[in-house]
Amino acid sequence: MTTLLVARHGQTTWNRDGRIQGWAPSRLTDQGHDQATALGDWLDDRYAVDRVFASDLRRTRETAAAADDGYGGLPDPEFDTDWRERGFGTVQGLYAEELLDEFPDHDRDASVISLDAAPEGGEGIPTFRQRVASGWDRAIAATDAGETTLVVTHGGVIKVLLAKLTDRDPDAALAEDSQPNCAVNEIRLDGDEPELVGEELTGWQALLD
């Protein structure tokens, strides 16, 4: 089987505090490190990982390193800016309540990632989607038949990617879907089209009990 595993990073200090991260160098919490280590342990029991891609941001680098500890020797990650979270420019670092003050038309119940406007110095959704698609195409091209590739990335990226693979409306996916910290999504590449066979897998949580 040819497989791509796409995982979100572990909990960060800004996740915990409710701040908009974007490209900020936020760090994993102790809980986030434990999540990522458990993720690696869980992957080791189920997959022989041949290649690792990761966003170059601090939180994904730390997640990949902790997952390597749990796995016991993952391939060295190839860091790629196309796997970064959406860039939020001047609203990066704000708390959710502060974002609503600046963009009062944004749905209070929707994810910040779904913000329609492109913040000053940030990315609009079409640009973000195009960037994610470029990273996806390179990951597929680098994965040979029968191999397993792990991608360590961000919640917004995963939402955009899964919407593309399942023909889901991307705006709805960004606003409504969830991807918990260190959730894994399994995609098979053996057929004519990529197939999502596992979504938001968090079986590694049992290792934390």
Predicted pLDDT of residue 98: 82
Predicted pLDDT of residue 146: 97
Low-confidence ranges of the chain (pLDDT < 50): none
Q: Is residue 58 within 8 Å of 45, Cβ to Cβ?
A: no
Which residues participate in the annotated binding site?
8-15, 59
Predicted pLDDT of residue 109: 52
Q: Give the predicted TM-score (pTM) of the model.
A: 0.93
Which residues participate in the annotated binding site for substrate?
8-15, 59
Report d(CA 117, CA 128) in Å as an integer.
12
- What are the pLDDT digits (tens) for 13-42? 999 999 999 999 999 999 999 999 999 999
Predicted pLDDT of residue 93: 92
Give which of 176, 136, 180, 131 is closest to 154, Cα–Cα.
Answer: 180
Give which of 10, 53, 32 is closest to 150, Cα–Cα.
Answer: 53
Predicted pLDDT of residue 66: 98
* Residues in a beta bridge with 62: none
Question: Tokens for 88?
Answer: 């939020």
- CA neighbours closer than 13 Å in the CB half-sphere of residue 204: 29
| Domain extent listing, the chain | 3-208
Residues forming the active site = 9, 85
Predicted pLDDT of residue 110: 53
Predicted pLDDT of residue 101: 74
Report d(CA 137, CA 4) in Å as an integer.
12
What CATH number has the domain spanning 3-208? 3.40.50.1240
